[in-house]
Chain A
Amino acid sequence: MANFIWLVIALPVLGALFNGILGRRVGYQVVSMVGPAVVLAAFLVGVGAFIDVLNHQGEAIQVHLWTWATIGNFNVPVTLLVDPVSATMVLVVTGIGFLIHVYATDYMVHHDHDHTHPDRDFARFFTFLNIFIASMLILVLGNNYALMFVGWELVGACSYLLIGFWYDRTEDPQRAIEIDGAESVSIPSLLSPAASGMKAFVVNRIGDVGFALGIFLIWSTIGSLEFTTVFEKVHELDHNTISWIALLLFVGAMGKSAQIPLYVWLPDAMAGPTPVSALIHAATMVTAGVYMIVRSHAIYNLAPEVSLFIAFVGAITAFIAGTIALVQVDLKRVLAYSTVSQLGYMFMAVGVGAYSSGMFHLVTHAFFKACLFLGAGSVMHALHDVIDIRRMGGLKDKMPHTYRTFFIAGLALAGIPPMSGFFSKDEIMAKAFEASPILWGIGIVTAGMTAFYTFRAIFIAFHGEPRDHHLYEHAHENRSAVTVPLWILAALATFGGLLGLPAPILNELGIPIPHLLDNWLKPVLEIAHAAEHGEAHHLSFMTEVVLLLTSSVVAIGSVGLAYFFYVVNPEIPKNLARTTRPLFAVLANKYYVDEIYNSIIVQPALNLSKTMAQGVDMVIIDKGIVDGVAKVIGMIGGLLGDLQSGYIRHYALATFIGALLMVGYFFFR
């Protein structure tokens, strides 16, 4: 099947063409079939390819389709690379993509008593969603940086279109978080979907400048963009160049994977429909940066300083985003900041050279975060698009499936054993501890916050008394198109840990269970490992166990704290907010980062733009120089007497002056 891997891209493209061109005419039921069906078909092809790679003992299979561009010695082929890393990504993208497509067939329809009202642009939604799947697969399957960049930009465009899907909606006005009766903290208004989409695209493009420059640097120093050639030859470059390449590529990852300082677009991306948040802004696209670094590990192994920098950027992002998530009142935004934070963990992993652990967390995070987002969407769907947790409460009996799956996925996110998130996060923590205890320290604090904010949201939204009775009355569990994907994802979130059980500990205990994912990815990752790290020193058995226990205790303790705060004694958080009001306000306003960017980047750029347009262009260049020259010529023309009228005079004179200058030059030269 691996030779037919192009089908995984072609099928969604065909789906998009069908839905885009005929979707309105054939009606939403047909679109509901075609949209998910092409992704399912792609998934099956992906499974076939996966098995092929398995049978090849992880050897890479290259499928050449055509040559994109050739100029002189520059050559970019459209060749797809199927190896353990890309095959894994294909399964994640198409597998979770399919579930979310199915979910969306119901989410994008409003049920009103016995009537069903599909979204006005139902077909357009599935068109974009299909294109996204194809684009994401180009990103992960390309065998060279140019093709990866193609996918990279295309997923950005899909993200732009899907965030702004409800393009006619306006911004959500200024709101406030009430602390206690009269006291409240104001928070900024939410951008409109159209503005959010644009913000995402432009901020991503800033990252893309870095990525593009990294690619140019690779080309100008190595003379090829194909992964195999680049990774073979990269060690011939001097250390400085390698570091620059590594750093520039990472700038791209900062944009796409929402790391400090380019993370600001992701929370606003929540303006898009929830399936989009789940698919693009949690499970797949935002992990592209992690994938890129794993793919480029041969470069990063040679740039240890940059790698360490990445690890710290990841850790700090994880921490900062975690703190913001603590006080968000919008369920999707809690999850959005949580995504930023979890992506930070992944960068921490790849930064310390634990590429396989980064991939592990990427996969488990895709499971549980997709489940959480879809759960949030299920709540929204039931509450007529209300997403403010302060208006929820007591939903657990009304929406049992949503509640249970959300709870399960929440346990995974919180890192409670034996859920998938526990194993993947713990692996990262152990590797981080090996590299630097500081990283581990930041990680463990963030882990505590993660468990806390996740269950804060769960307890407020699903437990306790309903806060808005009208909404509560209308709430109902969703149909099976929504709940079945939820349960499948919840199951994956539960058992996903089996992919990477802590082999060092288990083996020590005499249980010979291998680390499945490590072994699977080994053919891609081990070359560099063996070459660079030699025999990496491992943590002692005792350290591993202590770290494992610490993580577990912190996670469980934080869930307990959330329970105490929001179920047992809800007065505590209110008092806390009041006593720490300045801090609370800073967090609620996301450290004012958007405002800061606005005043030091966006506004100055706009002002410069206005100065250029109205001052420089219209006045200095046009009115001043151009019209001035014209006037001078006109005056001289007038002095020479009105031999001609209109422009011909100018023409004649200009010709004359020009000729004079040239002749003069030849004469005096």
Chain B
Amino acid sequence: MIISALLAVPLIGAIILMFLPRENKELLKMFAVGVATLNFIISLPLYFMYDSAAVSPDGYRFAAQIAWIPSLSISYHVGVDGLNLFLILLTTFLTVICILSSWTAIEEQLTEYLAIMLFLETAVIGVFVSLDLFLFYLFWEASLIPMAILIGRWGGKNRIYAATKFILYTMVGSAPMLVAMLAVYVWGGHTADLPTLVANANVIPPDTQKWLFFAFALAFAVKVPLFPLHTWLPSAHVEAPTAGSIILAGVLLKMGTYSLMRYAMPLFPMAIATWTPLLVSLSVIGILYGALVALVQDDVKKLVAYSSVAHMGFIVLGMFSGGQIGMSAAVVQMVNHGLSTGMLFFLIGVLYEQRHTREFSEYGGIWVKVPVFGVFLILATFSSVGLPGLNGFVGEFLVLLSTFSVNRTAAIFATFGIVLGAWYLLTAVRKVLFGPLNTANENLIDMTFQNKPREFCISVAIIALCFLIGLFPNLLFDKINPATAQLATLIHATTLIAGQ
């Protein structure tokens, strides 16, 4: 029920929005933010009622299944477990923030803009809650369109190029997946139901699993993005409006990592061992490469975009680094990256709105002018750097710890990523906040509660969550662990079979 409401509310909201008077911008915005907030509130019981909620036989909570195309065994099957719970919450939370952050930034075609944001929310939540291959693919492709439009319509100078690139990359990636899905559908007994397919996973011969895994993983790796499939991301971020960047980095990238865990791993457990070396290598390369490239960027957004390549590398590393610790840490790290990178993009947007530039050379020494903003920027950076007490540390530390037990070489290289991470992120802070004041910033307005209540409250909310996760990560792990334990057991059991 709750899940269906989460999918329906933004969609219905988007439709109603179309019929509201276009010129009454305040009303449009209030309505959109109201819908998003309502959806966020609806999503909260997923966390608070998680333990008492009905558990379906296969471990999903709040599950709903309605036959859709019975002849093909395709159904509307949705459910929540430890893997997607926090990603749903992250999505509903960040959507509110995205709409709030566009309050003054977007003027043109506001109706369409807001409707697209809401539509995107439905699509993304759909990706996270689907337990049916067909349903999943539908939402997966559906999420592509609004994002591309966001970039292509409300983006910067090269927005068309960036949007095209975004679409092409993703589609080229997901086309083989569609075929692979058909294969899975046939092998798995002519059903698109994920739990059934997972239960039948061993029916597919190991060699076939290898190729099917590859087809799925390719689609997901583009989304993550895993090195060397990442070059769409910097251009997409640079061109996207602030809200687009927040939702892209915060949620859309997680579709890739989440789907690896939800589909690629349990559907083709026998293939994991084959592809692990490649995926781990690419993650580690991504961690170091993303950091190195970030170090010399002139555009703040590009720097954060490359930092995402590095951070997402940690997540994939955690998932494939053997065992439950890495997987749980990877899930937490997905949330962490969403919060910290979302916040960084949000803060960049606050500056951009006032100065209309994102070049480092245009800033410098602005902390004098914007003390409160500076504190938030430093906190967001610390979160991103993985400073203990804040959220980023939890995921990064545990990913590395678990990786070390399995693959020392990978862990050692990846751990050096924390040096580079500190280097490029603190360089960014230094270029923006420190040094003598660049006089072009004389008229910057600080982000105090009085001056910018909306921005101030958003920042406080995100930072509070960062501290909460950093200090009490068990609030998340308690819910995540059962799901990752199940997955780890499944993989372990398969490895044992394969070993015999």
In the assembled complex, the CB of A118 is this many whole angstroms from the nearest CB of chain B, namely 15
Given the known interface contacts A72-B485, A202-B426, A647-B164, the answer about A655 and B175 at a Cβ–Cβ threshold of 8 Å is yes
Count residues on chain A whose CB falls below 8 Å from chain B CBs.
Answer: 70
CA distance A605 to B474 in the complex (A): 38
B residues 210-242 touching A (CB-CB < 8 Å): 211, 215, 228, 231-232
CA distance A663 to B423 in the complex (A): 48
Q: Are B404 and A216 in contact (CB under 8 A)?
A: yes
B397 in contact (CB, < 8 A): yes
Residues of chain B contacted by A650 (CB below 8 angstroms):
168, 171-172
CA distance A161 to B377 in the complex (A): 13
A192 in contact (CB, < 8 A): yes
In the assembled complex, the CB of A38 is this many whole angstroms from the nearest CB of chain B, namely 18
Residues of chain B contacted by A625 (CB below 8 angstroms):
228
CA distance A68 to B402 in the complex (A): 17
Dominant SS at the B interface? helix
Q: Are B228 and A621 in contact (CB under 8 A)?
A: yes
Q: Are B477 and A663 in contact (CB under 8 A)?
A: no
Which residue in chain B gives the minimum CB-CB distance to A127? B375
Residues of chain A contacted by B397 (CB below 8 angstroms):
146, 149, 212
A579 in contact (CB, < 8 A): no
Q: Are B175 and A654 in contact (CB under 8 A)?
A: yes
Contact with B437, one of A149, A168, A605, A626 (Cβ below 8 angstroms)? A168
Q: Are A170 and B435 in contact (CB under 8 A)?
A: yes
Q: Are A167 and B433 in contact (CB under 8 A)?
A: yes
Given the known interface contacts A658-B179, A662-B180, the answer about A216 and B328 at a Cβ–Cβ threshold of 8 Å is no
Given the known interface contacts A609-B292, A612-B293, the answer about A192 and B393 at a Cβ–Cβ threshold of 8 Å is no
CA distance A168 to B367 in the complex (A): 9
Instruction: Give a binary string over A472-497; 1 marks a CB under 8 Å from any B CB, 0 the rest.
Output: 00000000000000000000000000
Q: Are A149 and B388 in contact (CB under 8 A)?
A: yes
CA distance A67 to B183 in the complex (A): 45
Instruction: Give a binary string over A614-658; 1 marks a CB under 8 Å from any B CB, 0 the rest.
Output: 100100011001100110000000000000000100110011011
Q: Are A205 and B419 in contact (CB under 8 A)?
A: yes
CA distance A613 to B424 in the complex (A): 13
Contact with A71, one of B228, B382, B398, B433 (Cβ below 8 angstroms)? B398
A208 in contact (CB, < 8 A): yes
* Listed stretches A150-158, A333-341, A542-550, A557-565; interface member: A150-158
Given the known interface contacts A217-B404, A630-B168, the answer about A167 and B367 at a Cβ–Cβ threshold of 8 Å is yes
B105 in contact (CB, < 8 A): no
B296 in contact (CB, < 8 A): yes
Q: Are B411 and A216 in contact (CB under 8 A)?
A: yes
A666 in contact (CB, < 8 A): yes
Contact with B477, one of A69, A202, A609 (Cβ below 8 angstroms)? A69
In the assembled complex, the CB of A21 is this many whole angstroms from the nearest CB of chain B, namely 10
B residues 404-438 touching A (CB-CB < 8 Å): 404-405, 411-412, 415-416, 418-419, 422-423, 426-427, 430, 433-437
In the assembled complex, the CB of A206 is this many whole angstroms from the nearest CB of chain B, namely 5
B297 in contact (CB, < 8 A): yes
Instruction: Give a binary string over A451-474; 1 marks a CB under 8 Å from any B CB, 0 the rest.
Output: 000000000000000000000000
Q: Are B426 and A160 in contact (CB under 8 A)?
A: yes
Contact with A621, one of B231, B324, B387 (Cβ below 8 angstroms)? B231
Q: Are A70 and B215 in contact (CB under 8 A)?
A: no
CA distance A665 to B402 in the complex (A): 36
A384 in contact (CB, < 8 A): no
In the assembled complex, the CB of B493 is this many whole angstroms from the nearest CB of chain A, namely 16
Given the known interface contacts A69-B477, A658-B179, the answer about A213 and B405 at a Cβ–Cβ threshold of 8 Å is no
B residues 255-309 touching A (CB-CB < 8 Å): 289, 292-293, 295-297
Dominant SS at the A interface? helix
B125 in contact (CB, < 8 A): no
Q: Are B171 and A654 in contact (CB under 8 A)?
A: yes
Most buried by B among A66, A654, A658: A658
Contact with A209, one of B208, B329, B375, B419 (Cβ below 8 angstroms)? B419
Contact with B324, one of A69, A72, A154, A215 (Cβ below 8 angstroms)? A72
Most buried by B among A205, A213, A630, A655: A205
Which residue in chain B gives the minimum CB-CB distance to A665? B211
Q: Are B415 and A209 in contact (CB under 8 A)?
A: yes
Q: Are B388 and A205 in contact (CB under 8 A)?
A: no
Residues of chain A contacted by B370 (CB below 8 angstroms):
none
In the assembled complex, the CB of B407 is this many whole angstroms from the nearest CB of chain A, namely 11
A608 in contact (CB, < 8 A): yes
Residues of chain A contacted by B295 (CB below 8 angstroms):
605-606, 609, 613
In the assembled complex, the CB of A144 is this many whole angstroms from the nearest CB of chain B, namely 13
Which residue in chain A gives the minimum CB-CB distance to B478? A70
A667 in contact (CB, < 8 A): no
A201 in contact (CB, < 8 A): yes
Which residue in chain B gives the minimum CB-CB distance to A659? B179
In the assembled complex, the CB of B173 is this many whole angstroms from the nearest CB of chain A, namely 9
Residues of chain B contacted by A663 (CB below 8 angstroms):
179
Contact with B393, one of A153, A161, A205 (Cβ below 8 angstroms)? A153
Instruction: Give a binary string over A414-450; 1 marks a CB under 8 Å from any B CB, 0 the rest.
Output: 0000000000000000000000000000000000000
Given the known interface contacts A167-B433, A220-B404, the answer about A69 and B183 at a Cβ–Cβ threshold of 8 Å is no
Contact with B430, one of A149, A170, A195, A665 (Cβ below 8 angstroms)? A195
Residues of chain B contacted by A661 (CB below 8 angstroms):
176, 179
Q: Are B474 and A67 in contact (CB under 8 A)?
A: yes
CA distance A198 to B296 in the complex (A): 16
B394 in contact (CB, < 8 A): yes
B110 in contact (CB, < 8 A): no
Residues of chain A contacted by B171 (CB below 8 angstroms):
647, 650-651, 654-655
Q: Are A220 and B405 in contact (CB under 8 A)?
A: yes
Q: Are A617 and B436 in contact (CB under 8 A)?
A: no
Most buried by B among A149, A209, A629: A209
Which residue in chain A gives the minimum CB-CB distance to B326? A71
Q: Are A647 and B436 in contact (CB under 8 A)?
A: no
Instruction: Give a binary string over A128-169; 1 marks a CB under 8 Å from any B CB, 0 the rest.
Output: 000000000000000000100111011001001100100110
Q: Are A69 and B426 in contact (CB under 8 A)?
A: no
A residues 572-610 touching B (CB-CB < 8 Å): 605-606, 608-610
A411 in contact (CB, < 8 A): no
Q: Are B430 and A194 in contact (CB under 8 A)?
A: yes
Most buried by A among B296, B398, B411: B296
Residues of chain A contacted by B228 (CB below 8 angstroms):
621, 625
Residues of chain B contacted by A160 (CB below 8 angstroms):
426
CA distance A605 to B176 in the complex (A): 38
B473 in contact (CB, < 8 A): yes
Given the known interface contacts A208-B418, A622-B231, A658-B178, the answer about A213 and B435 at a Cβ–Cβ threshold of 8 Å is no
Residues of chain B contacted by A630 (CB below 8 angstroms):
168
Q: Are A198 and B418 in contact (CB under 8 A)?
A: no
B368 in contact (CB, < 8 A): yes
Q: Are B415 and A167 in contact (CB under 8 A)?
A: no
Q: Are B435 and A206 in contact (CB under 8 A)?
A: no
Which residue in chain A gives the minimum CB-CB distance to B169? A626
Q: Are A613 and B297 in contact (CB under 8 A)?
A: yes
Contact with A657, one of B175, B296, B297, B415 (Cβ below 8 angstroms)? B175
Instruction: Give a binary string over A208-247; 1 marks a CB under 8 Å from any B CB, 0 the rest.
Output: 1100110111011000000000000000000000000000
Q: What are 21 A-B interface contacts by the 8 Å CB criterion?
A: A71-B325, A157-B382, A167-B434, A168-B365, A168-B435, A168-B436, A202-B423, A202-B426, A213-B412, A216-B404, A219-B405, A606-B296, A609-B296, A617-B293, A647-B164, A651-B175, A654-B168, A655-B178, A662-B180, A662-B215, A663-B179
Q: Which B residues are closer than 8 A to A by beta carbons?
A: 164-165, 167-169, 171-172, 175-176, 178-180, 183, 207-208, 211, 215, 228, 231-232, 289, 292-293, 295-297, 323-325, 328-329, 365, 367-368, 371, 375, 378, 382, 387-389, 393-394, 397-398, 400-402, 404-405, 411-412, 415-416, 418-419, 422-423, 426-427, 430, 433-437, 471-474, 477-478, 481, 484-485, 488
With contacts A198-B427, A622-B231 known, what are 5 further pairs, Cβ within 8 A?
A: A69-B473, A71-B324, A168-B367, A212-B415, A647-B171
The 10 closest A-B pairs by CB, nearest first: A216-B404, A658-B175, A194-B434, A662-B179, A150-B388, A658-B176, A167-B434, A220-B405, A622-B231, A655-B175
